[in-house]
Amino acid sequence: MRIQPNGKTTARVRIVPERKHSNLADNVHGGISLAFADIALFAAARTLGIAMGPRTVTVDLSMQFVGAGRLDEPLDAEVEIVRDTKHLVFLRGRLVQAPAEAGSDSPHIVASFSGMLKKGG
């Protein structure tokens, strides 16, 4: 996994899904996408300097599956911090891959998501 800050409120987290992450259609399994988004929420928040204790937990995570994720190609979670309060962090993002069509500049969107973390000491 690779984590890269992209400004003060956004970060990019990357994995490369393998065959073991596939569903029966040989695409990235939806459960892997959801788990990756959850991990990306924490990775992005910590990378961007949000103070969170060891007992921080996910209290809400919602995902909308938009397209099939391709195996053996980088899958990026683009995560944005929406709001940081004393007890909660609100985030949103999307899972993207390189364009599927040659000549396209738009990323291939696999899913969009939003989540909320409860800070714990």
- CATH code of the domain in which 35 resides: 3.10.129.10
Give the pLDDT confidence of 6-61 residue by residue, as tens digits: 999 999 999 999 999 999 999 999 999 999 999 999 999 999 999 999 999 999 99
Which domain, by its residues, includes 16? 2-118
- Report helix, strand and coil shares of the chain as percent, to nearest 5: 15, 45, 40
The alpha carbon of 111 is separated from its chain's Cα centroid by a whole number of angstroms, namely 9
**pTM to 2 decimal places:** 0.93
Among the listed residues 29, 49, 121, the one whose alpha carbon sits nearest the alpha carbon of residue 15: 29
Report the number of distinct structural domains present in the chain.
1
